[in-house]
Amino acid sequence: MVRLILLAGSFFLVFPLLGQKYSNEFLSIGIGARAQGMGNAMVAGVDDVTAAAWNPAGLARIPRENGLQLGAMHTEWFAGVGKNDYLGATLPLKNANTRLGISLIRFGIDQIPNTLSLYEDDGTVNFDNVSEFSSADYAFLLSYAGRKTMKNSGFYYGGNVKVIHRRIGPFATAWGFGLDLGIQYERGKWLFGAMAKDVTTTFNAWSFNFTDDEKEVLEITGNEIPISSVEVTRPQLILGASYRLQYNKVSVRPELNAILTTDGKRNTLISADPISIDPSFGVEAGYNDFIFLRAGVNQFQQETDFAGSEFWSVRPSLGVGLRISSLRIDYAFSDVGDTQNRFSNIISLILDVKPKQK
């Protein structure tokens, strides 16, 4: 009986993830230190391999002569509790105006203690019996993008087919499938973008594998025993606008985004049911296309302090980037908007593998 109650502590941290609201929210954290440094305001201006996550249309803005482009990122959130990793690649197709991309995103909490076997049959404690498991979310994106060039303007389009896999140790797994669509429009110094995520609604089908003892612990602690179910991720629409300024060797590009969610009232700057709007703003300044400084704000939320007074909080971020030949190194300092302001270091790399000139 005691060992069953101890095991419950592990599940309390995990099973709330099965709720319908904020489903697959790990994909909203964002990838790439460039985007993180700009407050995730990227839907209009993204033009590298990370566009698969922000707006797949941006893949078509990568020059064909850049060839194969590779991207990678690692960061740890919540003081190292959660680990977020990304690998991506994009290459031009035979048609000069199209590109293909693949991406893998993982967000996981590792080394969660499983105390099921902490107690021996005679009631003695044996810490050698404690094992560990991980709760991890995976997303695989297959992206396609193309462009149509017009006089003084450009139109870019793209889409993702994505596969979601979520695993809670040996206890629960889920598979989901979804579709994203994105466009970008370039007119002079202006850039506009729109990204429709989960346009067909993404469904995660959960299955559970509990032993009799594990089912007993849920009953003892007043929890329902999970059964095979479907978790729904409702569509989102992200709109953005950006403007490019150039002063000799100095470039400045501000961008404003608005995230429209459709899963009910959220704690955002504009909160309504069923649509809430969460704005984000970022700016990137560069010198000679070599060094870049970035800053941004997003996640406007209303909070309550110990005295019961309400106040607005935001998620600030700063970043810097270096472009050395075909390699770009980006760094950002930000958090995910938790109340304890635990900031994290985000590092990402982008490499162009250019084909040899004949």
Does residue 343 have a pLDDT over 60?
Answer: yes
- Span 314-332, mean pLDDT? 94
**What's the pLDDT score for residue 315?**
87
pTM above 0.75, yes or no: yes
Chain centroid offset of residue 149 CA: 30
Does residue 356 have a pLDDT over 80?
Answer: no
User: pLDDT band at residue 336, thresholds of 50, 70 and 90?
Assistant: low
- CA separation for the pair 80, 50 (Å, rounded): 23
- CA separation for the pair 114, 252 (Å, rounded): 51
Strand partners, 352: 69
Percent with pLDDT over 70 in the chain: 83
More confident residue, 243 or 315: 243
Burial class (CB in 10 A: 0-12, 13-18, 19+), 106: middle
pLDDT digits (tens, 9 = 90+) for 264-280: 888 888 888 889 999 99
On whether residue 358 sits in a domain, the answer given is: no
Copy the structure tokens of residue 130. 């404690």
Residue 334 near residue 318 (C-beta atoms within 8 A):
yes
Does residue 355 have a pLDDT over 70?
Answer: yes
SS3 of residue 36 by DSSP: helix
User: pLDDT band at residue 341, thresholds of 50, 70 and 90?
Assistant: low
On whether residue 321 sits in a domain, the answer given is: yes
**What's the pLDDT score for residue 168?**
85
**What's the pLDDT score for residue 125?**
66
More confident residue, 286 or 300: 286
pLDDT digits (tens, 9 = 90+) for 244-255: 999 999 999 999
Lowest model confidence (mean pLDDT) among 174-183, 214-223, 228-237, 299-308? 214-223
- Span 45-52, mean pLDDT? 96
**What's the pLDDT score for residue 314?**
85
- Span 74-89, mean pLDDT? 86
- CA separation for the pair 44, 155 (Å, rounded): 12
> Cα–Cα–Cα angle for 260, 276, 263, nearest 5°?
85
How many domains would you assign to the chain?
Answer: 1
Residue 238 near residue 28 (C-beta atoms within 8 A):
no
Task: Using the structure block, give the residue that is written with the tokens 């994105």.
Answer: 182
Does residue 8 have a pLDDT over 50?
Answer: no
- Span 292-306, mean pLDDT? 87
**What's the pLDDT score for residue 222?**
66
User: pLDDT band at residue 62, thresholds of 50, 70 and 90?
Assistant: very high
Copy the structure tokens of residue 174. 């889920």
- CA separation for the pair 353, 70 (Å, rounded): 8
Mean of pLDDT over the chain: 85
**What's the pLDDT score for residue 273?**
86
On whether residue 215 sits in a domain, the answer given is: yes
Which residue segment(s) compose the domain that 198 sits in? Answer: 2-353
On whether residue 320 sits in a domain, the answer given is: yes
**What's the pLDDT score for residue 47?**
95
SS3 of residue 66 by DSSP: helix
Residue 214 near residue 202 (C-beta atoms within 8 A):
no
On whether residue 109 sits in a domain, the answer given is: yes
CATH of the domain at 340: 2.40.160.40
pLDDT digits (tens, 9 = 90+) for 134-181: 889 999 999 999 999 877 789 999 999 999 999 888 888 999 999 999
More confident residue, 339 or 256: 256
